[in-house]
């Protein structure tokens, strides 16, 4: 794997939230750094070896890997926000969120960045083809798409995708409150509320036993639904 064209990778910061991802974290962040991108690993209070492995990776790529760590677990949404704040502080021009469980293809990063770099969009969501997913996952994701449409009025191909890209200006406008998995739908709400230009590109999804254990299933879906209802009463 070689460093990609520096014009493509320049000012692109990847935010990788990680909670107990010792099996995949090194491979993911080193793979991203190898291609010339900057990556911010947010350890979200992991109780396994995630943080130490991330530090080992930083030793190999000190100028490309940045590590921040939550002392206690605060959830996916909180970790993403922390990473986005750090990216902003480092003057990132484009911010890409990327899951640490190995379900995304690193080579899809240029695909989600291109509409931003071409000035065609403010936000890009990498849409996973549902036909590639196990049935239980695709059903849960279909339901979440429907709920996102009902609650936030925006029809998207994959509301729960973890691979998203933002321009720095768009990221600044987005205000995330949700701490858990509900953050994915909240991004859609914010994109809609702030009238940001959204583009969706098809990405590859790698399903392994580890990635299947995480993400949106029926229980997580119910939690997100509860959160959406409670948010209606938020004062």
Partner 1 sequence: MVIIFFYRRLRVKKITPATFALWILVCLVVNFFAFAPRFSDPLAGFFGFGRGLDLLLVLGYALLVYAVYRLYVKIDEMNRNTTELVRALAIKDEIEFKDIEKEE
Residues of this chain that interact with partner 1 (CB under 8 A) are 42, 45, 55, 58-59, 62, 66-72, 74-75, 78, 81-82, 85-86, 89, 177, 179, 230, 233-235
CB nearer to partner 1: pick between 150 and 230: 230
Q: Which is nearer to partner 1, 81 or 137 (CB)?
A: 81
What is the C-alpha separation between 26 and 53, in angstroms, rounded? Answer: 6
- Using a 10 angstrom Cβ sphere, with 0-12 exposed, 13-18 middle and 19 or more buried, the burial of residue 8 is middle
Q: Which is nearer to partner 1, 155 or 226 (CB)?
A: 226
Q: Nearest approach, Cβ of 23 to partner 1 (angstroms)? A: 21
Helices within 71-200 (DSSP H only): 76-89, 109-117, 135-152, 168-173, 183-193
Work out the angle between the directed axes of helices 76-89 and 183-193 (0-180°, nearest 10).
Answer: 50
Least separation in angstroms between residue 125's CB and partner 1 is 24
Smallest gap from Cβ 217 to partner 1, in A, equals: 23
CB of 70 to partner 1, least distance (A): 5
Question: Is the CB of 62 or the CB of 153 nearer to partner 1?
Answer: 62
Shortest Cβ 117–partner 1 spacing (Å): 27
Neighbours of 60 (CB within 10 A): 13
**Is the Cβ–Cβ distance between 88 and 26 less than 8 Å?**
no
Q: For residues 57 and 103, which CB has a smaller minimum distance to partner 1 in the complex?
A: 57
Which is nearer to partner 1, 185 or 205 (by Cβ)? Answer: 185
* DSSP code at position 130: G
Q: Give the span between the Cα atoms of 83 and 42, in whole angstroms.
A: 6
Instruction: Tell the smallest beta-carbon distance from residue 230 to partner 1 (Å).
Output: 8
Helix axis angle for 135-152 and 218-232, nearest 10°, is 10
């Amino acid at each position: 794997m070689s460093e990609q064209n520096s014009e493509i990778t320049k000012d692109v910061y990847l935010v990788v939230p990680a909670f107990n991802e010792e099996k995949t974290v090194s491979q993911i962040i080193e793979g991203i750094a190898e291609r010339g991108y900057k990556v911010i690993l947010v350890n979200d209070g992991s109780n396994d070896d995630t943080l130490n492995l991330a530090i080992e990776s930083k030793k190999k790529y000190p100028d490309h890997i940045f590590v921040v760590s939550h002392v206690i677990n605060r959830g996916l949404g909180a970790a993403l926000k922390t990473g986005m704040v750090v990216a902003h502080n480092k003057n990132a021009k484009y911010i890409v969120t990327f899951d640490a469980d190995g379900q995304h293809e690193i080579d899809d990063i240029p695909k989600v960045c291109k509409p931003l770099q071409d000035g065609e969009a403010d936000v890009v969501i990498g849409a996973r083809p549902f036909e590639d997913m196990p049935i239980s996952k695709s059903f849960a994701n279909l339901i979440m798409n429907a709920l996102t449409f009902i609650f936030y009025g925006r029809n998207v191909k994959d509301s729960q995708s973890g691979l998203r890209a933002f321009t720095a200006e768009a990221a600044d406008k987005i205000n995330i409150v949700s701490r858990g998995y509900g953050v994915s739908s909240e991004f859609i709400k914010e994109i809609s509320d702030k009238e940001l230009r959204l583009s969706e590109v098809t990405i590859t999804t790698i399903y392994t036993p580890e990635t299947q254990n995480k993400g949106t299933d029926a229980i997580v879906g119910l939690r997100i639904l509860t959160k959406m209802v409670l948010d209606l009463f938020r004062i």
